[in-house]
Amino acid sequence: MVKAKDVHKRFGRLEVLKGISLQVAPGEVMCLIGPSGSGKSTLLRCVNHLEKINRGRLWVDGKLVGYKEAGGKLYELPEPQIARHRADVGMVFQRFNLFPHMTAIQNVIEAPIRVKKTRKREALTRGQELLERVGLADKVDEYPARLSGGQQQRVAIARALAMDPKLMLFDEVTSALDPELVKEVLDVMRELARMGMTMIVVTHEMGFARDVADEVVFMDEGTVVERGKPADVLDSPREERTKRFLGLVLAH
C-alpha cells in the first residue's frame, strides 16, 4: 500500500529525511516512534504530498505520490490530480483542524459532498454511521467548541473515514489531549486496525504500538535506526540509540 524508496527531504539547508526506505502492506499498521525532530511527521506529510520530496520515490497503492515518471524523470502532477490521489488517504493531525462554524456532522460530510460529489442524503446517512462508530451518535449537531478534545479528535477521525480512504495517517493524534481522553481516541484506532485499515501512526504511546502495530520503526535524525516486530524493537532493541530513547520514554 505504501512504498518509500530513498526518500530525502530538506527545508533550506536542514536535511530532515536522509534516505528513508520502507513499505507497508495492505491491512498493516506501522508505528513510527522516535524523538521530536527525527522526521516522523515530515515523512507522513510526504506520503500525502503535503510536503514535496527532494529525492527518491514514494508510492501509495502502486501510484507515484504527486508525480508521474517519464524517461527516468519525475514531473509534478497538476493540483487537481494530486487532490484526487490525496482523497484516497485520510490524515488526522495533532490539532483537530475542525471547521469551528460547522457541527460535527457538517464537518464529516463536507469533503464527500464537495470532493466526491456524494449526494447530501447519502453523505448524511454515512456521516451518522461514522459518528456512531467513533462513539459520538449523540453529538452529531454539536459544534467543536462544545466538544472535549477527545471528542473533537474522534470527529476528525470520522471526517477522514468519510472519504473511504485506502490508507490512514495519524500524526501524534493524542499528544494534545488530556491523559484521560487519550484512551477513547486510541480505542477508535484499535478498532480501525482490527477491521483491517492500513495505517501509519506517529505516536509516543508505546502501549498502543505494542498492541496494534505489525511493525515498529524507530527514527532519529532523519534515518531509520531500527525496525521490526513491536516485541523486538520495544522489549529487546539492538541499537544503543533505540535503547536510550526507550529508557527515557518508558521511565515516565
Nearest to 186 by CA among 207, 200, 166: 207
Average pLDDT over residues 221-239: 96
Angle 247-30-52 (CA atoms, 0-180°, nearest 5)? 105
Rounded Cα gap, residues 14 and 96, in angstroms: 28
The per-residue pLDDT for 80 is 86
Average pLDDT over residues 2-24: 96
Q: pLDDT (tens digit, 9 = 90+) per residue, 26-61?
A: 999 999 999 999 999 999 999 999 999 999 999 999
Percent of the chain with pLDDT over 70: 100
Average pLDDT over residues 235-252: 90
Q: pLDDT (tens digit, 9 = 90+) per residue, 60-90?
A: 999 999 988 888 888 889 988 888 888 899 9
Angle 232-236-239 (CA atoms, 0-180°, nearest 5)? 100
Three-state secondary-structure class, residue 224: strand
Rounded Cα gap, residues 72 and 191, in angstroms: 41
The per-residue pLDDT for 213 is 97
End-to-end C-alpha distance for the chain, whole angstroms? 34
Tell me if the pTM is above 0.85. Answer: yes
| Residue 125 reports pLDDT greater than 70 | yes
Dihedral of alpha carbons 123, 125, 129, 135, sign: positive
Q: pLDDT (tens digit, 9 = 90+) per residue, 155-173?
A: 999 999 999 999 999 999 9
Residues near 113 by beta carbon (within 8 Å), at least 6 away in sequence = 119, 120, 123
Nearest to 33 by CA among 194, 224, 186: 224
The confidence band for 252, taking pLDDT boundaries of 50, 70 and 90, is low
The rounded mean pLDDT for the chain is 94
Please compute, for residue 179, the number of CA atoms within 13 A of its CA located in the half-sphere on the CB side.
Answer: 0
The per-residue pLDDT for 60 is 94
Q: pLDDT (tens digit, 9 = 90+) per residue, 14-32?
A: 999 999 999 999 999 999 9
| Residue 106 reports pLDDT greater than 80 | yes
Which helix (H) or strand (E) segment holds residue 7: the answer is strand 2-11
Residues near 36 by beta carbon (within 8 Å), at least 6 away in sequence = none
